[in-house]
Structure 1
């Protein structure tokens, strides 16, 4: 079944291009010129420049919400114009187009891959290609052609998915059974610090705290209203990791912590339930 057999084809875009320039507009123009019926969803264009790991994280935490049969274009591409391959990965649920640089690590690791191809067919590229804008000249037209019914297996040459580049897994080190080391992954729009510490590490049988440079024993609470205005807090965030925030303020500005800064999750005494007298 081709994508054109599906109703309302969807293209999802994720890049580090930002919105100040015309890059995203040009990509959308290419897509809708080739497949006017395609709906285009902007996942984000605010991946930090060249930050492949952050892009992979955003993709990983967003995939569960993608509609089935969507074509997902991911472009965080510091190696654009080099020998790195543009690839298309078809899974049981969606199709992903991206440079082969580790950006598709969560797709290759968690979805059932049915086909993988190195995009090379001139049929689905713009006639002239910039060495520095494959998002517009290769990935966008390839996505649009797929939505218009172009056969996936004609995109280029088959690739063994096991040969694709993947990023090393994020590890949380446990010390003495009570301390788990992590790091700040990124700062979001609100100044919240998103860490690599998975929320699932925090059980309800113990009290837990976060420590980092300048932060000593910050308790993990449920939500912002559990602390006073302007106070620091740690909580289980919507990315399913522990986040550090300031109620109605910026944790990044308050703490000065940057991407990669060390953080530590510390397990304290067990939670006790008072016995009614």
Structure 2
């Protein structure tokens, strides 16, 4: 059984390694695949995009361990959510909303049974003490219903890809490309406007010269704003939430 692990832990400290160690102690046969640990600290917008973009490519039946948890130690719930394809273990803080919107949720349960967490639960490291163990127990065959009561509604984040003429900058990737909430239309627009600036629509990064801004269909099917050989975030002074509009 594969566990796909995403977090904002980075790779400098021991956090990722110790979560994997906890998983191995509980489920030694499980295989941990690291999706990314480069989500910016506490950045739910970026984490939600990463999960949304990655989920369609994960093998059927996999477990997704997602930990971006600015509310760790608070009353926010820890949950396991089963869809027709994947099972997610994560905080209930909107992180899963976009990924789940394109799947059929079969059931969701709170992670409350102490039998499936570490004995001493830290107020600051639920990835190690709650989420990692839950993912490991799932990989060992524990049914999601065993973890706790059913959950009817999950917390929203309010960021969903859509087919529309306007949207917003969802987040930025490692290269400084701006990923928007707009699905790229079948009929290509002539341009995109963002923060009062008009950016031409092209097919590839090479369609413009070095340092020039462009808009195109990104690899996940969203409208993407870029600068060739540069960072759109820096060059265009873009921010998350900036309004984006299609120009027919």
Q: Normalized against structure 1, the TM-score is what?
A: 0.82
CA 1:109–1:194: 2 relative to 1, 3 Å: closer
What RMSD in Å do the two structures reach over aligned CA positions? 2.1
Measure, in 2, the Cα distance between the counterparts of 1:88 and 1:11: 13
Q: What's the offset of the Cα at 1:17?
A: 1.7
Moved over 3 A (4+): 169-174
Aligned counterpart in structure 1 of residue 229 of structure 2, from 240, 244, 248: 248
Residue-by-residue CA offset, 1:75-120 (whole Å, 9 max, x unaligned): 1112111111111111222211111112221354332222221111
- Which of 84, 99, 113 pairs up with 2:91? 99
Which position in structure 2 is the counterpart of 1:234?
215
Task: Identify if the C-alpha distance between structure 1 residues 72 and 171 changes in structure 2 by more than 3 Å, giving closer, same or farther.
Answer: closer
Aligned to 1:275: none
How much does 1:214 deviate?
A: 6.3
Post-superposition offset of 1:260: 1.9
| Equivalent in the alignment of 2:187 | 203
Contact kept in structure 1, 2:8 and 2:40, CA below 8 Å: yes
Question: Deviation at 1:169?
Answer: 5.0
Q: Which runs of no fewer than 5 residues in structure 2 stay unpaired?
A: none
- The 8 Å contact of residues 46 and 172 in structure 2, kept in 1 or not, is answered as no
CA distance in 1, matches of 2:222, 2:163: 15
Task: Determine the structure 2 residue equivalent to 1:184.
Answer: 169
Structure 1 portions without partners, runs of 5+:
1-8, 175-179, 268-277
Alignment check: 8 A CA contact 2:200 2:213 kept = no
Cα 1:190/1:54, change in 2 over 3 Å: closer
What is residue 35 of structure 1 aligned with on the other side? 27
1:132 to 111, 117, 124: 124
Kindly provide the CA deviation profile for residues 3-48 of structure 1, in whole angstroms up to 9, marking residues without a partner as x: xxxxxx1001111222222211111111112112111111122223
Counterpart-to-counterpart distance in 1, 2:237 and 2:30: 43
